[in-house]
Amino acid sequence: MSCVMRVWGVDLDVHAMLTEITLPVDRVWTKGELRFGTKLHDDAGATVIVSDAEFEEFDLQAEDAQAFLHANHAALVKLAMYSGVEGVVFDFGVTTPEGKMTQSSYLSPTLMQLASSAGVGITISHYPCSDDED
């Protein structure tokens, strides 16, 4: 699950939101709930899997994200405007091979326009990996 959509807000009633906006939710958290076993969440939110493509398959993640935006555009607009929502973002997870100094990840104008018109931000999270990792 390398491209994940996150929606969050400090005053978000995430359970009410999910009764009104139907998307395939992966995870839900509430404000004050235990996070990573030691901290408390300071907001509420949910995640949705946008692409199951591997971290090394950024182009496929982008294709999947564009298809997801096409298929769910109206729901995403409603989600971004929902009371208490502070942000909606697609987070693309990509690996950065050991020793690589630069890395480029291309997002098409169509994907960018669809995301922008739906109120969805884009994040690309780089995760270091060694050549020994599979």
Per-residue pLDDT of the chain (134 residues; tens, 9 = 90+): 589 999 999 999 999 999 999 899 999 998 987 877 788 888 899 999 999 999 989 999 999 999 999 999 999 999 999 999 999 999 999 887 777 777 788 999 999 999 999 999 999 998 877 666 44
**Token pair of 99 as six digits:** 């020793």
CA distance 5 to 20: 17
Report pLDDT for 60: 95
CA distance 42 to 51: 27
Structural contact between residues 90 and 115, judged by C-beta atoms closer than 8 angstroms: yes
